[in-house]
C-alpha cells in the first residue's frame, strides 16, 4: 500500500470536512482514488471539497471553522504551500490536520513548521497510517492545527485499523499510563539502549512547549493502545558508547549497524523534544551530525540543525559534542560504507561545512523533477498553435524554460514581464532602424530593405523574409555604430506570435494570476486560458469560490480581443479565433474549453462533455473583436449554433408580435376576431365539457397508463391497454413516464406502468427523469404515493444477457420500478407482469396472462367487448396513405415550432434519403432542461458506384460546412452522408446536391438503394463498364413518384396531378423492406457481394471485356439481439446472365420480393427470409418464370480479399490512382490530420474522378501523368499519403452509431479507433503489425458495417458492452458466429491477447485469422444463415462458461 492511500483512508474516516488540493495537470491527486473507494464502501461520509491547482487553500479551509475536524490533503508544491502562509496563524487555532505528501525535499513544507503547534513526520506507509490517526486525534482533542508530513515514495504492507474504530478512537478519554509504563512510549530497542524511560520535559522546556508535548504524549498513548504498536517522537538505535550521533529527518532508513555511530530518526518536529533528544545522545558522543532532506533551502542554517544546536547549548553537559549540518541526497541506496565516509569527512570538516549523505541527484533526475509536463489533452490546443503560427510561435511560459530559469518561468507574471521586455526591445529596434536610415553612407539595397521592413514589420510572412535578406547586409555594415545597434537587436526583426498559456485557475483571482495586469497593459500579447471543468461537474465545485467570467471582464475593458472556443465542438472556429487574436494589435484573451478530470479521461468523454456544455449554453462560442468596431462593423460574433437558433426564434417571435402591435395598435382582439369562429369555439368547448361530465358520472375508476419505451414496443402495448380500457367504459389516459411528476402521480387512483429496458437494465429515455425522482424520494425516506394503486408490466429478453452473473439485467427496469413504487407507499393490486422476447409469442405470452388481472382489479372483467379494436398503424399503412411518398412532409417543413417532423413523415423521408435524428450525447440534458431533443437530419446521397467528379466533391464539402456539422461521411454503401442538418436547412441542402447532378431519392427506405461497385483502380476499362451497368440498374429501379421534385425542388404540379402518379415497379406499398444491389469484380470482393440482396459477380471474357455476371440473391446483415428468427445470411448463386439481361434480372428478383416478402413483420421482411421461406429452387423458378427464360449455369470465379488496396496504382489506360486511408470514412479536419482541407485542395486541381469504396475509403482516380507530382505534393503536405498504419487498422470499419443514430446501443465509429490502439499493440508484440485482420464494429445489430462477415466483429448491446463474433471469411465468403454474448473492453483484450499470440505461433502459410480460429477450435464454422445461432459461444474449452 502507498502512504497516500493509508493517509487518505484515515483522513476520510476521521474528518467532518475533507479538502483535497489538486496538483498541476497532467498530474492527478494522490488521494482521490482512495476517497472515491471510501465513498463507495464507507458509512461515514465527510463533506469532500476538491480544490483546483490555482485555488487558495487557506481561504477554503477557513470557511469550515465550525467543523469538529477538518483534514487537508496535498502533494507538496511551492505554489500551493505558499498560499497557506498568510492564513497559518488562524489555521493553527483550528481542529485541522494538514497531510502533506513529499517526495525528496522538505524545503517547502518545513517553512510552515514555525507557526503550527504540532508537526509530525512519517517515513513509511505503516508510520503514515499510525501518525495520521495520532494527528487526527490530536487536532480534534486539542482544537489545534497539526502538520503531518509523510514520504510519498515508499511502498509497503500496512496493518489498518477497522473503519468502525476510528470515530470512537477520536472521542476516547485520554489514558493515564503509557505503554509498558512509559508515558511517551519510547521504551528502548533491541540493541539494549534504554532510550528515555520515563523522562519528562517539564523541567527543561518552556511551559507552552511542555503543554503541547503532554498533549502529544496523551494522544500517542491512546494511539498505541489502538494500533498495538508503539508511537514515538523518535526512533533510535546503535551501540551503547558511540562517538558519533546522526540525527535525521527524511526518508532514509538506517536498518544496519555502524561501528561507533548512533542513529536518531525524528518523528516529532513540533513541539521539538529537546530534552528527550539530549538525553538520547550518549555522553561518549564527540560529534552530532544533523541530516535533513532539503534540496532548495535558501537560509545558511537548516531548521532542525538550529534546534539541536540550541538544545545542546542550553543543556548542562560538561562536554558538548560538535554539531554539524548535513543534507540527505538519494536515500534509496545508502549503505554502511556511505555512513563511514560521512563520519570520516566530519572528522576534518569545519562546523560551518554542510555535509552530504547519499548521492546528489544527477542532471537527468534534476531535469525530470523540475520539468513541467504538458497534459495529454491540452496538447490539442498547443498543436493548433504550432500549426497556425509555425516558427513564429513563442510561448512565453513554455515548460521548456523551467530547465534554465526555474519553476517561476511558467507563471503568468514572469511571462508577461518577458513579453514586455521583448516588445520594448523591438521598439528599440524600430528606433535603431530609423536612426540607421538617416546615415548617408548606408548601402542603397540595405536602405530599401530596412525601409520596407518598417512598413511590413507586423506582417508575419514579409517580416521574416525581409529579416533573412537584411541579416547578411547588416554584417557588412558593422563598422558603423548605428548598424551594430540594429545588428544586436536583429532577433526581433521577424514578427512573433507571443502567447501565454494558462488554466482556469487564473480566473479565480484576476489580480493574483496576473490576468488583470495583462488585460490592462495594452501590450500586444495573446493569452490562451484552458478551462477544464466538465459540464456534468459544474455544480460540484466549492460554492464559496466563484470563478470570474474572464471573457466578460476583458470585453468590459473595451480594447481587448476576446474569443470563447472549444476544439471538440468547432475546429474551424478555434483556428479563426487564434488567427484573429494574433492579428489584433493589443491584448487578446482566447478561452478554450477542454473538459477533463485526469490524463485517463477518454477523448470521447471530452467530446461528450463539450457538446453538453455548448448545447446548454454553459460554454457559448463567440468572438469579440474591437478592431471591427473601429471599422463600423459589429464587434461581436456569436458562433454557438444552438444559442443562435434559440435567439433567432426569440427574435422572430418578438418581430412578429411587434408587427402585429404596430399594425393594429388600438383594436382589441375581440374586435379583430371573426364572430362566427368565436361562436363555433364556444359550442365546441361546451360539448367537450358535457362529454367530460358524462364520463365522470360513469361508476368506474379512472385508469392512467404510463410507458417508458425506446423502440416503441412498450408504447404500443400501453396504448392498446388504454384503448381496451376505454372500450370497457373506463376513463383512461396514456402518456410517457417523464410527462408526469411525483406530485401529480400522487393524485392518481389507479396507475399502470409498461416499461421496456435499455442497456444494462436502465430505463428507456422517456422514463429516466421520473425514475430519478422516485429514487431521490426513496433515499429521503418519503412515502408520497400512499393513495395510489398500481401494477407494472415489464418487457425484456431473457437471452440478451446470457451469462449467469448478468441474469439480473433481464427486465431490471420493470422489477426495480415495481419494488420502488411499493417503497414509496403505493399499493400493488396486480403482481408484476413480465414479457419475454424468448417466449413463443414474444412479450405477448406474458401480457396475455397479466392483462385480465388488471380488468379484474378494476371490476370490469365481466364486460364483453363488441366494438373492434382499431388496427395498429404500421409502415404499410403509412406508405399507402402517403400519396406516393408525400405525406405531410411539405407542411412539416413549414412548421417552425419544432425541429422535428411528424412521426409518420419521418418514415417517408427515408425514401427521400433523409433520416430524422437527434444528438444523443445531449438528449438527457435537454430533457432535464425541459426542451425538445436537438433534432437534426442525416442526408444520404444516391451515387451509383460511388463515383463523383471534383466539382461534385467541392459541392459536398461546401454543403457539410453550410448545412451540416462541418464533416461528411463515406458510407459502406459507397456514398456521402451529411449529419447535423437542421430542418430549415433541409431543402437548401438537397437543392445544392441536385445542383451538381446528384440526388438523394431512394438512398434509404423500402426501395432499391445505392448500387455499389468494386473500386478496382487498376482495371480502368472494366470499371467503366461495371460503372455504366450500375448506373443503368440504379436508374431503372428508381421510384417514379414526382413527390421528391415537388417537395424539395419546388417543381409544382398542376392541380390533381398528384393523383396521376404511378409506380410501375413498386406500387403504392413499395417493398416490404430495403433492397440492396452490388457489383463485384473478382478477385476483389470489397463490396461483400454475398451480403447484398442481389449481387452481380463480373465475369470477364478472354479479351478482358465484361461478358456478363453470376447472379447472387438472398444476402443480408440485419439481426435482432436474442431473436433466433432473425439471422444474417449470405447470398446464393442463382446462375449467369449477360450484361444486357442484368437489369431485368435485378428487376424480377425485386418484384418476387415485392409480392412475397413478409409485410406483417418487418424483422422478417428482407429477401433472405423470403428465399428461406419459399425455398431457393422455388424462388429461382419464380424469377425465371417472370424473366421468361432460364439463367445460364454460373461460371467459375474466385475472390481473395474484401479489403482495399492502398497507395498508388496505375490503370490500363496509363492514368494513376491513389487509395487513401480514411478511418471509418469520416472526412474532417482535426489536429495534424487536415484531410477535409487536403481533399478540397486536391479537388480544385484534380482532372479525374473520386471513387468511394464500400470500406469507407477513397480513391483519387484517373490522375493524368502530368498531374501526379502536384497531387503527391498535396498528399504529403496534409499527411494524407501516410499509409504506415497496422494491417489491423487498414482492415477495420465502423458504422456511425452514437451520437446521431437513433438505433445505436453502443459506441462504434468514435470507439473502434481507441480499441484498435490497444489491440494493435498485441499484434505488434506478436510480429503481426502488417498482417491484415478484418475487424468491424457496429453500434446495433442491424449490421451497417457488415460485421457478420468480418473475421472478428463487435456488435453493440449496451454502452460499453458488445456481442463478440469470430470466424468470418477473409474475402467475405463465410459468416462469422457469436463467440461471446457480452464483452467489455477488458474482456475483449483478455480474449484477444492469447488468441492472437496463438495465431502468430501456429498459423499455416497464408492462413487468415478467421480460418485459424475455426481450425484451432475456438469457434464452429457457420455453414448457412439459418444455422448462425447454432453452436454459438465457442467450442470445447473455449466455450463460454466452460471453465
| Active site (annotated) includes residue 583 | no
Grid coordinates in use for 1218?
A: 491513389
Distances (CA, A) of 1144 to 309, 1034, 1151, 1184: 106, 12, 10, 11
CB-neighbour burial class of residue 676 (10 A; exposed 0-12, middle 13-18, buried 19+)? exposed
| Active site (annotated) includes residue 1074 | yes
Q: Active site residue: 1004, 1137, 1301, 1323, which one?
A: 1301
Beta bridge partners of 623: 563, 637
Q: Active site residue: 940, 1073, 1226, 1357, which one?
A: 940
DSSP string, 1385-1398: HHHHHHHHHHHHHH
Which stretch of DSSP H or E encloses residue 395?
Answer: strand 393-395
| Active site (annotated) includes residue 1344 | yes
| Active site (annotated) includes residue 1340 | yes
Q: Active site residue: 948, 1137, 1220, 1295, which one?
A: 1295
Q: Active site residue: 948, 1004, 1323, 1344, which one?
A: 1344
Which stretch of DSSP H or E encloses residue 682?
Answer: helix 675-697
Local structure of 324: helix, strand or coil = strand
Three-state SS sequence of 1328-1377:
CCCCCCCEEEECCCCCCCCHHHCCEEEEEEECCEEEEEECCCCCCCCCCE
Three-state SS sequence of 209-264:
HHHHHHHHHHHHHHHHHHHCCCCCCEEEECCCCCCEEEEEECCCCCCCCECCEEEE
CB-based contact 822:831 (threshold 8 Å): no
Please tell me the total number of residues recorded for the chain in this structure: 1443
Grid coordinates in use for 1257?
A: 475509403
DSSP letter at 765 equals G
**Cell numbers 392541380 label which residue?**
1055
How many CB atoms are closer than 10 A to CB 1358?
20
- Report cis status (omega within 30 of 0) of the bond before 460: no
CB-neighbour burial class of residue 746 (10 A; exposed 0-12, middle 13-18, buried 19+)? middle
| Active site (annotated) includes residue 1076 | yes
The whole-angstrom separation of Cα 155 and Cα 1252 is: 57
| Active site (annotated) includes residue 1301 | yes
| Active site (annotated) includes residue 948 | no
| Active site (annotated) includes residue 1137 | no
Three-state SS sequence of 404-432:
HHCHHHHCHHHHHHHHHHHHHHHHHHHHH
CB-based contacts of 701, cutoff 8 Å, min separation 6: 730, 749, 750, 858, 859
CB-neighbour burial class of residue 1299 (10 A; exposed 0-12, middle 13-18, buried 19+)? buried
The whole-angstrom separation of Cα 1039 and Cα 942 is: 13
Q: Active site residue: 1340, 1357, 1377, 1380, which one?
A: 1340
Q: Active site residue: 25, 608, 910, 1009, which one?
A: 1009
CB-based contacts of 922, cutoff 8 Å, min separation 6: 611, 612, 615, 616, 934, 1299
Which stretch of DSSP H or E encloses residue 989?
Answer: helix 986-995
Helices 460-475 and 444-456 pack at an angle, to 10 degrees, of: 150
Q: Active site residue: 498, 789, 1074, 1180, which one?
A: 1074
Which stretch of DSSP H or E encloses residue 14?
Answer: helix 3-14
DSSP string, 444-484: HHHHHHHHHHHHHTT-HHHHHHHHHHHHHHHHTTTTSHHHH
DSSP string, 473-526: HHHTTTTSHHHHHHHHTGGGSSPPEEEEEEEGGGGG-TTTTSHHHHHHH--S-E
- Which active-site residues does the annotation give? 940, 1009, 1074, 1076, 1295, 1301, 1340, 1344
Amino acid at each position: 500500500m502507498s502512504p497516500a492511500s493509508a493517509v487518505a483512508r484515515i483522513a476520510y474516516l476521521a474528518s467532518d470536512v475533507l479538502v483535497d488540493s489538486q496538483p498541476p495537470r497532467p498530474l492527478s491527486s494522490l488521494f482521490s482514488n482512495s476517497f472515491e473507494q471510501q465513498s463507495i464502501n464507507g458509512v461515514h461520509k465527510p463533506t469532500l471539497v476538491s480544490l483546483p491547482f490555482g485555488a487558495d487553500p487557506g481561504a477554503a479551509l477557513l470557511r469550515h471553522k465550525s467543523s469538529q475536524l477538518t483534514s487537508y490533503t496535498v502533494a507538496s508544491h511551492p505554489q500551493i504551500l505558499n498560499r497557506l502562509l498568510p492564513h497559518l496563524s488562524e489555521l493553527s487555532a483550528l481542529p485541522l490536520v494538514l497531510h502533506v505528501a513529499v517526495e525528496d525535499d522538505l524545503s517547502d513544507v518545513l517553512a510552515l513548521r514555525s507557526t503550527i503547534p504540532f508537526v509530525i513526520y512519517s517515513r513509511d506507509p505503516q508510520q503514515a497510517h499510525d501518525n495520521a490517526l495520532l494527528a487526527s486525534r490530536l487536532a480534534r482533542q486539542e482544537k489545534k492545527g497539526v502538520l503531518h508530513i509523510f514520504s510519498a515514495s515508499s511502498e509497503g504492507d500496512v496493518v489498518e485499523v477497522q473503519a468502525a474504530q476510528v470515530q470512537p478512537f477520536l472521542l476516547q478519554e485520554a489514558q493515564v499510563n503509557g505503554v509498558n509504563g512509559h508515558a511517551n512510549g519510547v521504551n528502548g530497542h533491541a540493541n539494549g539502549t534504554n532510550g528515555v524511560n520515563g523522562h519528562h520535559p517539564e523541567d527543561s522546556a518552556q511551559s507552552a512547549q511542555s503543554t503541547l508535548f503532554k498533549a502529544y504524549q496523551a494522544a500517542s498513548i491512546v494511539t498505541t493502545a489502538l494500533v498495538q504498536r508503539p508511537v514515538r517522537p523518535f526512533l533510535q538505535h546503535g551501540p551503547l558508547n558511540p562517538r558519533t550521533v546522526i540525527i535525521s529527518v527524511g526518508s532514509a532508513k538506517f536498518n544496519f549497524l555502524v561501528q561507533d555511530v548512533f542513529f536518531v530518526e525524528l518523528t516529532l518536529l513540533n513541539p521539538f523534544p529537546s530534552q528527550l533528544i539530549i538525553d538520547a545522545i550518549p555522553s561518549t558522543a564527540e560529534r552530532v551530525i544533523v541530516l535533513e532532506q532539503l534540496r532548495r533551502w535558501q537560509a545558511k542554517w537548516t531548521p532542525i540543525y538550529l534546534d539541536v544546536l540550541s538544545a545542546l547549548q542550553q543543556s548542562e553537559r560538561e562536554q558538548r559534542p560538535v554539531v554539524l549540518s548535513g543534507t540527505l541526497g538519494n536515500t534509496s541506496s545508502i549503505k554502511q560504507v556511505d555512513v563511514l565516509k560521512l563520519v570520516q569527512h566530519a572528522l576534518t570538516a569545519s562546523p560551518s561545512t554542510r555535509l552530504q549523505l547519499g548521492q546528489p541527484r544527477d542532471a537527468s533526475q534534476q531535469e525530470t523533477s523540475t520539468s513541467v509536463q504538458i497534459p495529454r489533452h491540452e496538447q490539442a490546443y498547443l498543436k493548433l498553435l504550432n500549426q497556425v503560427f509555425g516558427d513564429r510561435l513563442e510561448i512565453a511560459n513554455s515548460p521548456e524554460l523551467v530547465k534554465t530559469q526555474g519553476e517561476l518561468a511558467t507563471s503568468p507574471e514572469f511571462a508577461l514581464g518577458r513579453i514586455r521586455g521583448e516588445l520594448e526591445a523591438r521598439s528599440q529596434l524600430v528606433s535603431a532602424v530609423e536612426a540607421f536610415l538617416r546615415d548617408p553612407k548606408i548601402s542603397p539595397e540595405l536602405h530599401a530593405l530596412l525601409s520596407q521592413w518598417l512598413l511590413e514589420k507586423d506582417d508575419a510572412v514579409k517580416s521574416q523574409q525581409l529579416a533573412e535578406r537584411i541579416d547578411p547586409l547588416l554584417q557588412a555594415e558593422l563598422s558603423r555604430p548605428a548598424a551594430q545597434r540594429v545588428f544586436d537587436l536583429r532577433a526581433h526583426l521577424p514578427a512573433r506570435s507571443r502567447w501565454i498559456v494558462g488554466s482556469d485557475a487564473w480566473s479565480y483571482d484576476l489580480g493574483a494570476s496576473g490576468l488583470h495586469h495583462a488585460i490592462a497593459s495594452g501590450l500586444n500579447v495573446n493569452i490562451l486560458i484552458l478551462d477544464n471543468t466538465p459540464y456534468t461537474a459544474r455544480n460540484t465545485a466549492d460554492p464559496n469560490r466563484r470563478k470570474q467570467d474572464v471573457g466578460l471582464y476583458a470585453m468590459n475593458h473595451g480594447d481587448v480581443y476576446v474569443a470563447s472556443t472549444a476544439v471538440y465542438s468547432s475546429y474551424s472556429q478555434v483556428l479563426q479565433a487564434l488567427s484573429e487574436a494574433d492579428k489584433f494589435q493589443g491584448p487578446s484573451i482566447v478561452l478554450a474549453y477542454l473538459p477533463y478530470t485526469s490524463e485517463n479521461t477518454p477523448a470521447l468523454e471530452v467530446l461528450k462533455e463539450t457538446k453538453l456544455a455548448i448545447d446548454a449554453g454553459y460554454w457559448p462560442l463567440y468572438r469579440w473583436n474591437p478592431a471591427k468596431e473601429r471599422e463600423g462593423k459589429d464587434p461581436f460574433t456569436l458562433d454557438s449554433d444552438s444559442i443562435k437558433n434559440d435567439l433567432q426564434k426569440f427574435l422572430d417571435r418578438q418581430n412578429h408580435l411587434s408587427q402585429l402591435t404596430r399594425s393594429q395598435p388600438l383594436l382589441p382582439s375581440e374586435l379583430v376576431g371573426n364572430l362566427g369562429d368565436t361562436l363555433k369555439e364556444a359550442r365546441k368547448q361546451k360539448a367537450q365539457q358535457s362529454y367530460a361530465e358524462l364520463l365522470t358520472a360513469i361508476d368506474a375508476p379512472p385508469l392512467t397508463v404510463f410507458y417508458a419505451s425506446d423502440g416503441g414496443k412498450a408504447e404500443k402495448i400501453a396504448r392498446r391497454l388504454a384503448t381496451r380500457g376505454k372500450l370497457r367504459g373506463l376513463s383512461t389516459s396514456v402518456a410517457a413516464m417523464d410527462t408526469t411528476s411525483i406530485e401529480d402521480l400522487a393524485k392518481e387512483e389507479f396507475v399502470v406502468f409498461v416499461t421496456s429496458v435499455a442497456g444494462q437494465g436502465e430505463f428507456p429515455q422517456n422514463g429516466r427523469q421520473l425514475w430519478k425522482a422516485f429514487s431521490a424520494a426513496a433515499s429521503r425516506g418519503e412515502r408520497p404515493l400512499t393513495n395510489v394503486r398500481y401494477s407494472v408490466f415489464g418487457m425484456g429478453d431473457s437471452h440478451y444477457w446470457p451469462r449467469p452473473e448478468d441474469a439480473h439485467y433481464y427486465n431490471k427496469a420493470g422489477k426495480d420500478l415495481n419494488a420502488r413504487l411499493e417503497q414509496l407507499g403505493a399499493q400493488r393490486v396486480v403482481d408484476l407482469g413480465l414479457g419475454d422476447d424468448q417466449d413463443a409469442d414474444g412479450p405477448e405470452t406474458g401480457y396475455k396472462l397479466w392483462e385480465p388481472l388488471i380488468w379484474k382489479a378494476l371490476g370490469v372483467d365481466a364486460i364483453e367487448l363488441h366494438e373492434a379494436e382499431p388496427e395498429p398503424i404500421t409502415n404499410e399503412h403509412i406508405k399507402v396513405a402517403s400519396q406516393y411518398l408525400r405525406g405531410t412532409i411539405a407542411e412539416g417543413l413549414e412548421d417552425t415550432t419544432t425541429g422535428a417532423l411528424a412521426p409518420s413523415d419521418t418514415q417517408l423521408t427515408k425514401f427521400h434519403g433523409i433520416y430524422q435524428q437527434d444528438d444523443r450525447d445531449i438528449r438527457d440534458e435537454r430533457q432535464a432542461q425541459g426542451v425538445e431533443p436537438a433534432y437534426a437530419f442525416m442526408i444520404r446521397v444516391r451515387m451509383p458506384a460511388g463515383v463523383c467528379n471534383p466539382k461534385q466533391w467541392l459541392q459536398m464539402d461546401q454543403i457539410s460546412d453550410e448545412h451540416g456539422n462541418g464533416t461528411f461521411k463515406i458510407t459502406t454503401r459507397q456514398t456521402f452522408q451529411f449529419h447535423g442538418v437542421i430542418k430549415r436547412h433541409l431543402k437548401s441542402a438537397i437543392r445544392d446536391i441536385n445542383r451538381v447532378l446528384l440526388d438523394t431519392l431512394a438512398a434509404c427506405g423500402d426501395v432499391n438503394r445505392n448500387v455499389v461497385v468494386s473500386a478496382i483502380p487498376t482495371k480502368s476499362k472494366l470499371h467503366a463498364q461495371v460503372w455504366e451497368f450500375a448506373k443503368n440498374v440504379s436508374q431503372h429501379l428508381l421510384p417514379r413518384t414526382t413527390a421528391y421534385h415537388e417537395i424539395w425542388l419546388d417543381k409544382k404540379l398542376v392541380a390533381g396531378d398528384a393523383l396521376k402518379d404511378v409506380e410501375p415497379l413498386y406500387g403504392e406499398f413499395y417493398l416490404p423492406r430495403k433492397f440492396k444491389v452490388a457489383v463485384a469484380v473478382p478477385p476483389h470482393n470489397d463490396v461483400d457481394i454475398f451480403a447484398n440482396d442481389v449481387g452481380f459477380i463480373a465475369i470477364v471474357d478472354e479479351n478482358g471485356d465484361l461478358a456478363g455476371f453470376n447472379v447472387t440473391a438472398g444476402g443480408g446483415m440485419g439481426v435482432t439481439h436474442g431473436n433466433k428468427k432473425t439471422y444474417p445470411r449470405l447470398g446464393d448463386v442463382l446462375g449467369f446472365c449477360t450484361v444486357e439481361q442484368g437489369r431485368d434480372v435485378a428487376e424480377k428478383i425485386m418484384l418476387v420480393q415485392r409480392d412475397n416478402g413478409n409485410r406483417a413483420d418487418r424483422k422478417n421482411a428482407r429477401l433472405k427470409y423470403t428465399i428461406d421461406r419459399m425455398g431457393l429452387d422455388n424462388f429461382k423458378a419464380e424469377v425465371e418464370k417472370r424473366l421468361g427464360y432460364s439463367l445460364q449455369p454460373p461460371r467459375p470465379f474466385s475472390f481473395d480479399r474484401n479489403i482495399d488496396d492502398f497507395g498508388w496504382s496505375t490503370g490500363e489506360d496509363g492514368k494513376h490512382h491513389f487509395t487513401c486511408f480514411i478511418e471509418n470514412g469520416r472526412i474532417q479536419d482535426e489536429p495534424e490530420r487536415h484531410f477535409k482541407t487536403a481533399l478540397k485542395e486536391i479537388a480544385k486541381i484534380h482532372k479525374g474522378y473520386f471513387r468511394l469504396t464500400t470500406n469507407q475509403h477513397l480513391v483519387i482516380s484517373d490522375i493524368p501523368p502530368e498531374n501526379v507530382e502536384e497531387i503527391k505534393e498535396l498528399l504529403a503536405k496534409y499527411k494524407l499519403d501516410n499509409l504506415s498504419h497496422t494491417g489491423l487498422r487498414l482492415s477495420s470499419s465502423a458504422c456511425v452509431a452514437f451520437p446521431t443514430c437513433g438505433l445505436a446501443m453502443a459506441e462504434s465509429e468514435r470507439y473502434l479507433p481507441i480499441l484498435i490502439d490497444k489491440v494493435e499493440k498485441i499484434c505488434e508484440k506478436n510480429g503481426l503489425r502488417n498482417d491484415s485482420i478484418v475487424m468491424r464494429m457496429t453500434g446495433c445489430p442491424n449490421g451497417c458495417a457488415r460485421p457478420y462477415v468480418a473475421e472478428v466483429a463487435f456488435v453493440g448491446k449496451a454502452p460499453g458492452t458488445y456481442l463478440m463474433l469470430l470466424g468470418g471469411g477473409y474475402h467475405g465468403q463465410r459468416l462469422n458466429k457469436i463467440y461471446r454474448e457480452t464483452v467489455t473492453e477488458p474482456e475483449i483484450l483478455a480474449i484477444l491477447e492469447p488468441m492472437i499470440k496463438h495465431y502468430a505461433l501456429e498459423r499455416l502459410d497464408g492462413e487468415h485469422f478467421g480460418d485459424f480460429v475455426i481450425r484451432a477450435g475456438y469457434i464452429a464454422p457457420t455453414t448457412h444463415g439459418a444455422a448462425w445461432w447454432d453452436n454459438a459461444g465457442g467450442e470445447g474449452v473455449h466455450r463460454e462458461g466452460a471453465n
